Amino acid sequence: MTMTVDFSDLKGKSVLITGGSKGIGRSMALAFAGNGSDVMIVGRDEKALAEVKAEMNRFNAKCDYIRADLSRMDEVRLVADLTAERFGKIDVLVNNAGINIAKPAFEVTEEDWDRVLDLNLKTVFFLSQAVAGHMVKTDGGKIINIASQMAFVGYYNRAAYCSSKGGLVQLTKALAVEWAGHRINVNAVAPTFVETEMTSKMLEDRAFREEVNSRILFGRPAKPDDMNGAVLFLASSLSDYVTGDTIKVDGGWTAI
């Protein structure tokens, strides 16, 4: 197969993105739609999903959304099946949905722990399992997990989050090993703090923002669009020989 030198091969690819109505997910959805991909976004906020669908439809009228609660395993499997039915296949899965409950380790409850680990790790595994079942019928695909720099460093008030993202990096490797024979590439992207709805309140705290900026070589948090290059690369044929890897898009945080 001749490899492209740009993202033109993403045109007509079917892409499933969880957490696609806001922040990083919205930015990625628009980037894929802008490259001609058929994009299905998933989330719980129907109003926000519909707004992103309208934005995507300016590029590609086939883009759509599914409202679902990905903490429910029956809905996880249904999302995979509905997307495959809608587009006839699933070429790319981006596991972007995630949660953080920022608390000192002494204050983390069992419920907090389970909420973070279930969405950030359990849901990713079972959605990947369901989607991969469709990918093996169509000669493979690309799975991209949105991890975090917190998979590689520790930080305050993030015991559960760091654990979930560290596990996600290892899950990425394990699935890459098992599914390479099915021509399924499994990789991850690890962002630093990104200015989104989820982080806005934290970053409004001047002392916290200054602390974050002091650890990033570029002196600022990331914007959602800063993640798109790595994700599009991993979804395209340019990355056909890359699997089991995690690309850090952290502004140099982990370089120090």
Marked catalytic residue, from 65, 155, 161, 241: 161
For residues 244 and 186, is the Cβ–Cβ distance under 8 A?
yes
Provide DSSP, 169-215: HHHHHHHHHHHGGGTEEEEEEEE--B-STTTHHHHHSHHHHHHHHHH
* Known active-site residue 161: yes
Task: Give Cα separations from 51 to 46, 56, 64, 68 (angstroms).
Answer: 9, 9, 11, 16
Whole-number Å distance between alpha carbons of 249 and 214: 16
Cα 181 off chain centre by = 23
Residue 41: other Cβ atoms inside 10 A: 31
The amino acid present at 131, given as its one-letter code, is V
Q: Closest by alpha carbon to 185, among 194, 173, 196, 168?
A: 173
Whole-number Å distance between alpha carbons of 143 and 176: 9
Q: Give bridge partners of residue 143 from the DSSP assignment.
A: 93, 186
Whole-number Å distance between alpha carbons of 37 and 40: 10
Provide DSSP, 203-217: HHSHHHHHHHHHHST
Catalytic residues: 161
